Structure 1
Amino acid sequence: MSADVPPPVTPAATPSVTPPAIGPGTARPTGALPPVATAPRPVRLPVRRIRIRRAAPGSGWLLASRIVLGAALAVTLMIAALAAGSRLDDRRIDQHLGTATATVLSLSALHTGIEFVDGGGVTIRPPDGVLYPGLLSVGQKFKIEYSTLDPTIVRVAGRTAAVGNLILLITLGVTWLVALGANLVLRRRWRAIASRAAIRPDPLRLGSTP
């Protein structure tokens, strides 16, 4: 006689519990672990090596010599422009020649103010003064030549650009004489410093040698 076997007992299913969503205004339940903040990964920036070049010994004297030559070249260009302008003014006066008597009103290193009456009876005071005004004095009356098309272009009668060019050539010669002399002194100083630096050992290089 077989014994009665009891039927197998099936365990009751455990209901799944979904944790409530925790928002900004929701209280955190007791015993719940706080969220773990993940640290941002460090960003590696590329390292840029900067090489500092040391100035060559005596380079300041060499730069000064070049500046002197550049200034002399600038003066040369300015004198050339003045000479060309004087030639052009003479041509305008010669093509439309007018004569008058002018009076010196003012004198300065760069300007000689005059006044005269042209052929039409109009009093003219040239804003640029008179060309080639050497050996004039305030109040002196002298003969002038001007362009009838443009009475503001005036020169002392009998004087042309040749007189002005002589002064410009003298100025140019003195400028280059001073510039070349200064350039010679500065370059000698530069060579002396450079030669001493070539003989003297560099302490930075000696220290870096293993």
Structure 2
Amino acid sequence: MSPDQRTPTPTTSGSEAAVRRRAHQFVLVLYIFAVLGCVAMVLGPALNDRTINQNPGRALATVVNVGTIRTSVEYQGDDGRLHSPKAGLLYPSGLGEGQRVWVTYAKDNYDLVKVEGRRWTLAFIPALSCLAVASAIAAGLWLLVSRWPARRRPQPPSIRKPLKR
């Protein structure tokens, strides 16, 4: 028997079951997007490191600004010009303003620069943390949808028990 031909149980109507099924599908789609975001959190740095490693340059940089979103540095590239990447420095944890640090950059893209010796594998920790939080939220939402109280349909008059007098 196909799912469309099933008769609803006495406790839930067909439309309530359909709403619950759609809610489960919505939770699943949100979870898939979260997992894809976590994969992108690792894939992006891996691609950046690959680009840097294909044509690397090395320079001594000065940390100009340490913010919550990005850490800005200035360094002199092999072209002799001073560069300050718009997107900031890759893998900047533990740096302070005024600090001088060796960086590796892509010679064909001076905006792509990372702290020397740091690798894309550092992205696993935040990605796995986000995945754990997303999994917990998705599991909670799934249980919430599953246990959402169904409206009880009134029983037909022929099934009702007679009142005791």
TM-score of the pair, normalised by structure 1? 0.58
2:147 counterpart (173, 184, 188): 188
C-alpha change, 1:134 and 1:119, in structure 2 (3 Å) is same
Which is richer in helix?
2
1:167-206 mapped onto 2 (5 Å cutoff): 167-189=126-148, 192-193=149-150, 197=152, 200-201=154-155
Distance 2:16 2:99 in 1: 60
Distance 2:16 2:51 in 1: 55
Moved over 4 A (4+): 58-65
Give the CA deviation at 1:160: 0.6
The structure whose RCO (Cα within 8 Å, separation 6+) is larger is: 2
Matched-pair identity in %:
28
Deviations along 1:126-153, whole A, 9 cap, x unmatched?
1221111212233332221111222211
2:112 counterpart (132, 153, 156): 153
Q: What residue is the counterpart of 2:4 in the other structure?
A: none
Q: Which runs of 5+ in 2 are unaligned?
A: 1-12, 158-165
Distance 2:68 2:27 in 1: 24
2:56 counterpart (97, 120, 129): 97
Q: Which runs of 5+ in 1 are unaligned?
A: 1-53, 204-210
Q: Write the letter of the residue equivalent to 2:92.
A: P
Give the CA deviation at 1:162: 0.5
| Number of positions where the alignment pairs a residue of Structure 1 with one of Structure 2 | 145
C-alpha change, 1:132 and 1:58, in structure 2 (3 Å) is same
**Equivalent residue of 1:162, what SS?**
helix
Give the CA deviation at 1:101: 1.9
TM-score of the pair, normalised by structure 2? 0.72
Which is richer in strand?
2
**Equivalent residue of 2:111, what SS?**
coil
